[in-house]
Amino acid sequence: MEVIIKKDQSTASVYAARLLADVVKVKPHAVLGLATGSTPLGLYRELVRMHREEGLDFSRVTTFNLDEYVGVAPTHPVSYHRFMNENLFDHINVPSSQVHVPDGLAEDLPGHCRAYEEAIRNAGGIDIQVLGIGSDGHIAFNEPSSSLGSRTRTKMLTEETRKDNARFFDRLEDVPHHAITMGVGTILESARCLMLAFGGNKAGALAAAVEGPVTSMVPASALQLHPRVQVIADEPAAARLALKAYYQQALARREETGR
């Protein structure tokens, strides 16, 4: 696990966008795993800028989003499908036929989840998965106690997660209780993971995920088992990392020598 600490969220987001853009440049038909929420917004803005100003081409990529609320239509103001359209897909040249977001209105939710897994396999697997981390250490909607081998499924949200997401709704009562989410096992099958963590409210969760034991109570800690993970954090999120100085020295050394 490579931990990269940048001074602020904006700088970290641009750095992350360049890493993802490099994947697309090397492999134009790359399969991208994408996240929603406030954490990846800066990354998406930079990708849009690179598409418009530098010609970054998304015409051959395929995308899979991590999750979606159950019972929420794709056109609903708080749906993750709409979020992705407004913040990324409407501004780049990815064909809509190559975009995949879980369907919160699927009549057969278990069948839909199995089909989503199959679609990822048929696409050749995810080349790079973008992740955020919840204040309780969850990734996607894999809440604490989630199986580290779990697959795409429906998951009941904790009250902490619902409260964290209430800012996107008129009232807490409007936040759905369930979501479709890629499982931890699904995420770990990605060839590469890029986890972003911004803000002091993520400091405890990030420290537990990076430096604590691997445990289902901190689902993000399962990334310690993955062979290629890059964690990109701003200074506030990195504040509780015991080896913060080491991570900074290692990054400086890599940038200086290329190793």
Question: Which residue numbers are catalytic?
Answer: 67, 136, 138, 143
Query: How many CA atoms within 13 Å lie on the side-chain side of 175?
Result: 16
CA–CA separation, 208 and 259 (whole Å): 27
- Nearby residues of 236 by Cβ (< 8 Å), 6 or more positions away: 198, 199, 200, 202, 203
| Helix, strand, coil percent values for the chain (each to nearest 5) | 45, 15, 40
Q: Residue 245: phi, psi to the nearest 5? A: -60, -40
Query: Would you call 215 helix, strand, or coil by DSSP?
Result: strand
Question: Do 209 and 133 touch, CB atoms closer than 8 A?
Answer: yes
Query: What DSSP line would sit under 28-81, residue for residue?
Result: TT-EEEE--SSTTHHHHHHHHHHHHHH----TT-EEEESEEETT--TTSTT-HH
